[in-house]
A = this chain, B = another copy of it.
Amino acid sequence: MRRGRRPGGENTRALILEAARTEFAATGYDGTSIRGVARTAGVDPRLVHHYFDGKSDLFAAVMAVPINPGARVMHALEGPPQGLGARLVAVFIETWDDPANQAALIGAVRTTLTNHEAAQQVREFVTQEIMSRVVDAYPATSTLTAAERELRVGLVTTQMVGLAMTRYILRLPEISDLCAEELIARIGPAIQGILETGSAAGTPLVGQPAKD
């Protein structure tokens, strides 16, 4: 969410964006802080918060993506845990199908795939700000080992990356011609299965690690 302008605002905003671009490139998504960006830009951290709704919004702006994916995913987390998988797929498709976002999101994916530094930043952003929150929103995951939790973050990411690639980048007609409802019905349960059991098939794994 962009807040109100004030005199000289566009210059200040551009200055902060440029500093953020430098910081993300130098230290990655995880290593960047609002405080560090403010220091590099030579402004007060409150000014960064004035223009950007936190680190994830700042990153979206640097990647020239008009929405804050971190805020979008928060919507998917609201509601009963048994519908989490379907809600994640629904929010994902709604965001990507929107003509106001699609070109920018495709551009961000292309940057990620051709630029090594950008790939590292996007990877950290997607796992930290989106997929980790999804996994942690499912109640039972708090009892998992750290390794099993990470594996589930990786598996949910694999599902969403596969969908983004086949529907929006490769434009496989078998997937891109489907309506949102069909995809939610087919892929939602796979995400749900990963959250509940660690497997997209939703069957508990033998010897599945859990904290004692």
Contacts and interface: CB of A to CB of B under 8 A. Distances in A.
Contact of A201 (B151, B182, B189): B189
Given A166-B161, A201-B201, A172 B189 contact: no
Contact of A205 (B112, B170, B185): B185
Interface in A49-84: none
Chain A: interface secondary structure? helix
A202 B205 contact: no
A114 B114 contact: yes
Contacts of A182: 151
For A150, A162, A201, the residue with the greatest tally of chain B CB atoms inside 10 Å of its CB is: A201
Interface stretch (A2-10, A31-39, A136-144, A191-199): A191-199
A60 B190 CA distance: 32
A204 to B, nearest CB: 11
Interface string A97-135: 000000000000010111000010011000100000000
Contact of A199 (B113, B159, B189): B189
Q: A-B pairs with the 10 shortest C-beta distances?
A: A162-B162, A154-B174, A189-B201, A190-B200, A158-B162, A154-B175, A200-B200, A158-B166, A201-B202, A193-B201
Interface of A: 110, 112-114, 119, 122-123, 127, 150-151, 153-155, 157-163, 165-166, 169-175, 178, 182, 185-187, 189-190, 192-193, 198-203, 205
